[in-house]
Amino acid sequence: MSIRQIALELYSLEKKLERLKKDFAEASGDESQAIQHEINETTMERNRIKAMLEAKKKG
């Protein structure tokens, strides 16, 4: 995967997190729990992609 592709994926995940956090602020009850789970999953994926990008830039 090229640096550009990784960066685009990272950007997409950042935008998704912004949207999820906004949705979480407006949600209630069970819906907020589901959104929080998705935020956690997306954050882990974003961190993995960010690490991949950093490694690619270094080496």
The per-residue pLDDT for range 16-33, each reduced to its tens digit, is: 999 999 999 999 888 999
Residue 48 counted as domain residue: yes
**What is the domain range of residue 25?**
3-53
pLDDT at 54: 96
Residue 32 counted as domain residue: yes
Give the Cβ contact number of residue 55 at 10 Å: 10
pLDDT band at 38 (very low <50, low <70, confident <90, very high): very high
Please report which helix (H) or strand (E) contains residue 34, including its range: helix 30-58
Taking all residues of the chain, what is their mean pLDDT, rounded to a whole number? 96
Residue 26 counted as domain residue: yes
pLDDT at 1: 86
Residue 58 counted as domain residue: no
- Count the domains in the chain: 1
| Cα separations in angstroms, 24 against 10, 17, 29, 53 | 21, 10, 10, 28
Residue 38 counted as domain residue: yes
pTM over 0.75: yes
